[in-house]
Structure 1
Amino acid sequence: MFPKISRSTLPCMKESPGVVDLLGVLAYAELSAYARMTEDAATLAPSLADRAALSELAVAEYAHFSLLRDHLAGLGADPDAAMTPFVAALDAWHAQTRPADWLQALVKTYVGDGIANDFYREVARHLDPSVAKLVDEVLVDEVRSQFAVERVRAEVEADPAAGARLALWARRLVGEALSQAQQVAAARPELALSLVEASGGQADISRLFATLTEEHNKRMAALGI
């Protein structure tokens, strides 16, 4: 779980603790999502229509990355330096959860990315309102969610056996995503401090992850698995 954190362990900061780290991890997450969706569209999409639709979503992810990169630069931070601490963790997440087929790719986009984004939103909620607003803007996922849900539900209704297979895949995704979030927070104490101070104690971190799991279960229900 998370290490014990106190202000004495942190450097003096003028900005709200964790802002640059949060924007840095989000920027790299969006850049990675763009690259992954582009690859999945080219290699896994079963039709040209699906390839085009996923490519459009990838373009939106890159636009979000650009927005975060520009905001970091506006804060006087080096975007590359802000992203670098998170490259290993996020690359490992993608390597460990590489989809084998189109349906797995859609479930990963909806379930895996969804629970990670819930975590980032919760961190942002405890920072400056302008940061929370920016995070909400770049993590908006209505179109992506609708795209994944419609296609996965249709396949599961046509082939119930696919539902069981995808349910196992989704459970693996949520375990890997929660582990990733814990590693990110533990490695970057400014992020964890935001949650610990705002919630009033270390124990509330466990409740946060319980909440993330509840949101995951809602996504599973939406997919019909």
Structure 2
Amino acid sequence: MNQSPGVVDLLGVLAYAELSAFLRLAEDAALLAPTLGDRAALGELAVAEYGHFKLLSRKLGEIGADPDAAMAPFVESLDAWHAQTRPADWLQALVKAYVGTGIALDFYREAARRLDPAIAALVDEVLVDEGRSEFAVERVRAALEADPTAAGRLALWARRLVGEALSQGQRVAAERPELARLLVEAVAEDQAEISRLFARLTEAHGKRMAAMGI
């Protein structure tokens, strides 16, 4: 069964995003986690991301696409985002895992809203939180209670993460018009939906920032 290029692109970018998340979370767990408990907890989240990657790879094969070829167009941009947003410490790693990754996943979720129900359901499955929110929020809020002055630094970091994510998103949209069209066509019939779309994205980001106390 062959799917449209846009669907293959969406699954491909998600697959590489999940593979990258697995690798980055595992690296942060090994290098930045302050306790063995934190290392184990972040490692568990990394394993969940790898499971999502396997689901997406399997689905790509089922629809007649080569997983490696589907992911390849997104390697450079996603690797660039990770390189430009490499956390300097544990708290920055937590904010990136929750806030930085969250804004990107919101866009993928929006792009999948009007796809075939089976594809949309798979996207929802791989975008499930898996405890990332609770893990990050608890630790960041505890750190801010101990040192409230860190809030300003982390707020600046969060804004940088979102800015870099939007910049790379624009690059991907320009290079992969079929993927961009999934999102654009979902709002093209109703211009008011554009405003609602960005309102949803802004609201979700604001909730994440507030949850962390920054």
For this structure pair, what is the TM-score category when the shorter chain's length is used for normalisation? over 0.9
Deviates more, 1:209-218 or 1:191-200: 209-218
Deviates more, 1:212-221 or 1:164-173: 212-221
| 1:88-107 deviation per Cα after TM superposition (whole angstroms, max 9, x unaligned) | 00000000000000000000
* Alignment correspondent of 1:185: 173
Q: CA deviation at 1:126?
A: 2.2
Q: CA deviation at 1:181?
A: 1.8
The reply on whether 1:126 has 2:114 as its aligned counterpart is yes
In 2, are the aligned partners of 1:30 and 1:62 still within 8 Å (CA)? Answer: yes
Deviates more, 1:172-181 or 1:50-59: 172-181
The reply on whether 1:63 has 2:44 as its aligned counterpart is no
| 1:5-38 deviation per Cα after TM superposition (whole angstroms, max 9, x unaligned) | xxxxxxxxx6245110000000000000000011
Q: CA deviation at 1:48?
A: 0.3
In 2, are the aligned partners of 1:18 and 1:191 still within 8 Å (CA)? Answer: yes
- Unpaired runs of 5+ residues, structure 2, are none
| 1:22-62 deviation per Cα after TM superposition (whole angstroms, max 9, x unaligned) | 00000000000000011000000000000000000001100
Q: Within 5 A, what are the aligned runs for 1:1-225?
A: 15-200=3-188, 208-225=197-214
Deviates more, 1:37-46 or 1:187-196: 187-196
Provide TM-score, normalisation by structure 2.
Answer: 0.94
Q: 1:205 to 1:181 in 2, by over 3 A?
A: farther
Measured in 2, the distance between the counterparts of 1:190 and 1:201 equals: 17
Provide TM-score, normalisation by structure 1.
Answer: 0.89
Measured in 1, the distance between the counterparts of 2:190 and 2:83 equals: 30
| 1:62-83 deviation per Cα after TM superposition (whole angstroms, max 9, x unaligned) | 0100110011011110000000
Identity %: 76
Structure 1 runs of 4+ off > 3 angstroms? 201-211
- Unpaired runs of 5+ residues, structure 1, are 1-13
| 1:114-160 deviation per Cα after TM superposition (whole angstroms, max 9, x unaligned) | 00000000001121111110011001014111000000011111111
1:57 aligned partner, one-letter code:
L
